[in-house]
Amino acid sequence: MDKLKMIGGKPLQGEVLIAGAKNAALPILCACLLSKDPIELRNVPDLQDVRTMLKLLKNMGVQVSFPDPENRTHLILSAASITSFEATYDIVKTMRASILVLGPLLARLGKATVSLPGGCAIGARPVDQHIKGLKAMGAAMKIKGGNIEAKAERLQGASILTDMITVTGTENLLMAATLAKGTTTLENAAREPEVSDLAELLVKMGAKITGIGSDKLVIEGVDALHGAEHSVIPDRIEAGTFLCAVAAAGGDVLVKHCRPDTLDAVLVKLREVGLDVETGPDWIRAKMQGRPKAVNFRTSEYPAFPTDMQAQLMSVNAIAQGSSTITETIFENRFMHVQELNRLGADIAIEGNTAIAQGVEALSGATVMATDLRASASLVIAGLAAQGETIVDRIYHLDRGYDRMEQKLTQLGANIERVK
């Protein structure tokens, strides 16, 4: 099992290129199921979760090709012939985003069987809103043997108000509605940039969608969708992670191929900690000297501060001047990195869904264990700022969402290596 070994204390210097967004790529890959025609995609991140989704789609009969075998960020998918309508537990248990095949399969082919996702390290993420919405569109749904079994002659347009904001729920229902008969209205829809990126691809495929970027999506169903070309948006969470690394370790870094307009809430807080931030159309320059200042923040749905950046900014707060409170409103178990940060010398206590961090002057290297994707990123950030050697174990979590993080950090001057 791979580990990352680093010696902290070196400021970061140079340029880093941001990959495509994992959370946009996964639903976009599933959108290929909506058409018989090929879908050509660029800027797809070469990540473990993407490979898992491609494996699932191939199992269903989707043809996946790479025009340049050396470039796995450019691919063509063809779902002309679907041979399986099932997402089995062996894949779903490793990646909950597998649920995103449910809506497209049901809309175009009239049936789907998707294993129920199990629990997750960062908390329960129920799929009841997916089921509720598809039932409203006329699907016959039942839970049998741990699977969601769905059938529909043709989905019908409906007015759907979800009980909560759900990103994957919005994406599943949005894809399903594109081929439904009549008009579908999705209210309380997720507004994340990744949802909008999916919607933009669907429009290129011939879908009729209004309200993109808002909490109310109106979809006029069409009889068929056609092929399209699309480039996945840059990953705002990867960009935010590198910005937090600069805030913690110090230095001067140009973050390239990113979307500053999708990071407003993060940039506000990083400026508060003392990071000197300059932005352009597709770049962010970050400079940091001295200790950061502690900042309070609260996670919430977009455009508020993202839960996927909570752990990384907590690492900055761990060495900041002053105390801070971090409130997590999205996932109930998303503080498991706290005990690992404390192993590095942080002083963080948990009270319910709030963490209270008393900033310390310096962290000390130690061996720590990653518990989930963003927790692993927070431990890398802490290790870059710590004195001495830090080893982060179980970095397969990190590989699910970051493309060659250690190589990118090495290019910025960090003393970090992957240990087999």
Query: Kind and range of the H or E element at 348?
Result: strand 347-351
Helix/strand/coil for 135: helix
Q: Which of 32, 120, 244, 258 is catalytic?
A: 120
The alpha carbon dihedral of 199, 200, 201, 204 has a sign of positive
Strand, coil or helix: what is 19? coil
Residue with tokens 């050396």: 70
Distance CA 154, CA 384 (A): 54
C-alpha to C-alpha distances, 412 to 96, 246, 298, 354, 393, nearest whole angstrom: 33, 10, 30, 33, 22
Alpha-carbon span 6 to 409, nearest angstrom: 10
- For residue 35, with 0-12 CB atoms within 10 Å meaning exposed, 13-18 middle and 19 or more buried, which class applies? buried
Looking at the chain, how many residues does it have? 420
Q: What letters, b where the CB count within 10 A reaches 16 and e where it falls short, cover 357-367?
A: bebbeebebbe
Known active-site residue 32: no
Annotated catalytic sites, by residue? 120
